[in-house]
A and B are shown apart, each in its own frame.
Chain A
Amino acid sequence: MIQKSSEALSRRAFLGMAGAATGMMVLASSCSKNDDDNMMNNGVDLGNGDVGILNYAYALEQLEAAFYTRVAQSPYNGISASENALLTDIRDHEIAHREFFKSALAGAAISNLEFDFSAVDFSSRASVLATAKAFEDLGVSAYNGAGKLIVTPDYLTLAGKIVSVEARHAAYIRDLISNGSFADNTVVDMNGLDTSRMPADVLAVAAGFIKTKINASNLPR
């Protein structure tokens, strides 16, 4: 059933939505110079509706992919073979997510974002894993929070396919830091529920690592 519904989400459906958004972008680019400047000042517009949510996910996957690419390029001191292999796996998963959204959104996709990882000491296991933990937990909470904003059932399914992989990453990274902390009470409440955050809260946290200004004001709330 799931496979069926995935297939039903044809590329054309995606491109159809993308086409509408592209039209809006063309419209935007025909604005006067002053308007253009205003748009620049407001940052990269994620857009609205489901496209906005998909761009929001795309932005977060860009962040994670860029981070793990750096981690894999310069592994921290004393990294074990197993850690190196699994962190490289995670890099590949995040790149797969990033490129999936890029392809799916096509013309409606936001541009490549620029990141600032100056707060991370890539030679330090503690620094890298603490950052990874923050990103993974943030990612899980972002997808969990955005679920109710999604209108198209197939997109919700797709988000579900990704969020559980982010949760697997989060659990693994947490266990590397402290075995047994995979689902501790800093992320799971007394009802056994994980954390969910709305886009504004997520982006406020992520902003510390993203140089490019992001305009999320048109996202559904």
Chain B
Amino acid sequence: MEFQHIINEIKKVDPEMPERLSDRRTAMKSFAGIGAKIGLAALPFFIGSIFKKAYAQSGPSQNVVLDVLNYALTLEYLEAEFYAMGIAKGTALVPAGAPAAAIKTIGDHEAAHVEFLKTAITASGGTPVAKPTFDFTAGGTFANVFTDYATFLAVAQTFEDTGVRAYKGRAAEITGGGDLLTAALNIHSVEARHAAHIRTMRKANGFGDVKPWITGKESGIGSVVQASYDGEEMTTQAGINIVNINGAMISASAATEAFDEGLTKEQVLAIVGPFIVQ
């Protein structure tokens, strides 16, 4: 951990910080000294406490950070419980071997994300939101989600692709957020790895003609999940047309695949709303 770096960053943004924190500098230095002794599992708390001390006055506000983290936590609760319930069905739902192992890998990650975010929120001076009550049939839309493998994987794909878009959509709000931003990015790319694998599983089983990446705004599932894919068809980035850019033969499909798009908080909440009872 680069605590001195964090202090330097604060100085850049808030030159008066050293004076304001002068009596805290000794404390920060002693943090640096014990950094090596702190185990990986304790890291979220440690990052959070540093964050609370260091960034409360600069960078993204504590309120924004806590809002983003609690938003992320809600989505991770959703994913973690979804996989836990799927795994509980055993081989009646997910075939033994590679499929079951992959779902367990993903479920373990989502459960770890829940714990990580809860700890980071608490350590940052916030209160983790409570786990909502979920209805993974979404009011009957996916009535066989835990009895039909194809439906289960379709919902999994939608959750993962939506998760990727959700983190991406709010990253800009925590620009300059130091190690908490890094942690959010490190979760974001894991969700993308999950999404790619679930999509590969669906393709291998003939459940959907999808690639590991998103082509256009195609879900390979149906209109019921379309809101999770709308907007992915963008072929311009920062005002630059990606199709055949600079004479390279880049198709419209490739142009959309090459960039994943974010979703706003409102869009994500509308998507997951049907899965949340309260």
Contact = CB atoms under 8 A, between A and B. Distances in A.
Interface of A: 1-3, 5-7, 9-11, 14, 86, 89, 92-93, 95-97, 99-100, 102-104, 140, 143-145, 147-148, 150-154, 156-158, 160-172, 175, 179-180, 182-184, 188-196, 221
Contacts of B144: none
A156 B234 CA distance: 18
Contacts of B98: 179-180
Interface of B: 5, 40-41, 43-44, 98, 101-102, 105-106, 108-113, 115-116, 164, 167-169, 171-173, 175-179, 181-183, 185-197, 200, 211-213, 231, 234, 237-240, 242, 245-246, 248-251, 254-255, 257-264, 266
Nearest to A163: B189
Contact of A167 (B43, B179, B196): B196
A16 to B, nearest CB: 13
B159 to A, nearest CB: 15
A45 to B, nearest CB: 21
10 contacts: A6-B237, A89-B211, A143-B189, A144-B185, A148-B182, A162-B259, A188-B190, A191-B44, A194-B189, A196-B185
Contacts of A102: 246
B169 A140 contact: no
Contacts of B259: 96, 161-162, 165
Given A97-B258, A153-B175, A168-B193, 20 more contacts: A2-B264, A3-B231, A3-B234, A11-B238, A86-B212, A96-B245, A99-B242, A103-B240, A140-B189, A157-B168, A160-B262, A161-B168, A164-B260, A167-B190, A183-B105, A183-B197, A190-B40, A190-B112, A194-B190, A195-B186
Q: Is the interface of A mostly helix, strand, loop or mixed?
A: helix
Nearest to A191: B116
B45 to A, nearest CB: 11
4 closest pairs, A vs B, by CB? A192-B112, A2-B262, A167-B192, A171-B196
Contacts of A1: 169, 262, 264, 266
Contacts of A179: 98
B208 to A, nearest CB: 15
Contacts of A163: 185, 188-189, 192
B254 A193 contact: no
Contact of B242 (A3, A100, A145, A154): A100
Given A167-B193, A183-B197, A196-B182, A92 B258 contact: yes
Nearest to A82: B203
Given A11-B240, A167-B193, A193-B116, A188 B260 contact: no
